[in-house]
Amino acid sequence: METIDLQTQGLRALNSTLQNTAEVSTQEYTIVNPQGSHAIAVGLNSPIQVTVEGSTGYYCAGMNQKASIHVNGSVGPGVAENMMSGEVVINGDASQYAGATGHGGLLNIKGNASSRCGISMKGIDIVVHGNIGHMSAFMAQTGNLVVLGDAGDALGDSLYEAQLFVRGTVKSLGTDCIEKEIRNEHLQTLAKLLARAGADAKPEEFKRYGSARQLYNFNIDNASSY
């Protein structure tokens, strides 16, 4: 395991080191003294293990591919933004638009997430052990958002085919988002995500929300209105 002191090495050198590891590397890195710095461990594209000891600023672990990144602290806006694969674990809270536009992988937030969690998600799986803020999953296209706590206003506004699972209460649903039946295949998907995230919850405790499919479909009966 290699320990990197961010205050000594600097952000540019840190990210260059992490981004230029071998494709087959399984090397482990520990980053100390992050002190809320922005854009830590971005653009990683090999299966390395990265642990950040402390809280970070915005866009931590952005554009991640294949790497496993653990933050022992809280993170600023845009954690795991545009994530493609791998795993990002936050042992704390996350600020706005966590997992925005994510295409794949797992974002596992052990605390709460602020507003717009999972905005425009495109295949990523997000598990939040606490609560999420307003406008979460706005225009979410595909993937799964699992919330063990409560959800704020306008959940799933204008979403497409992403699946939203909430164990607690939902303050309000956004445009074209409705509660849907939770069938056996959904329970299986949820069980796998909960197990992978180490979440202490049962699939049967959740409600499922999704698109009513009225907002983005052309309806010939309303042709004169378009």
pLDDT tens per residue across span 83-119: 999 999 999 999 999 999 999 999 999 999 999 999 9
pTM given for the model: 0.94
pLDDT of residue 97: 97
pLDDT tens per residue across span 28-84: 999 999 999 999 999 999 999 999 999 999 999 999 999 999 999 999 999 999 999
- The edge-to-edge listing of strands for the beta sheet with 2-5 is 2-5, 28-32, 49-53, 68-71, 87-90, 106-109, 122-128, 142-147, 163-166, 207-211, 177-180
pLDDT of residue 88: 98
DSSP single-letter state for residue 220: G
pLDDT of residue 25: 61
pLDDT of residue 21: 83
Which amino acid is it at 177?
A: C
pLDDT tens per residue across span 121-175: 999 999 999 999 999 999 999 999 999 999 999 999 999 999 999 999 999 999 9
pLDDT of residue 33: 97
pLDDT of residue 218: 57
Q: Any idea which architecture 2-213 has in CATH?
A: 3 Solenoid (2.160)
Strands 49-53 and 68-71: parallel
Strand, coil or helix: 224:
helix
pLDDT (mean) for 7-30 = 86
pLDDT of residue 1: 84
pLDDT of residue 215: 85
* Chain-centroid distance, C-alpha 81: 8
pLDDT of residue 23: 64
Provide the mean pLDDT of the chain: 94
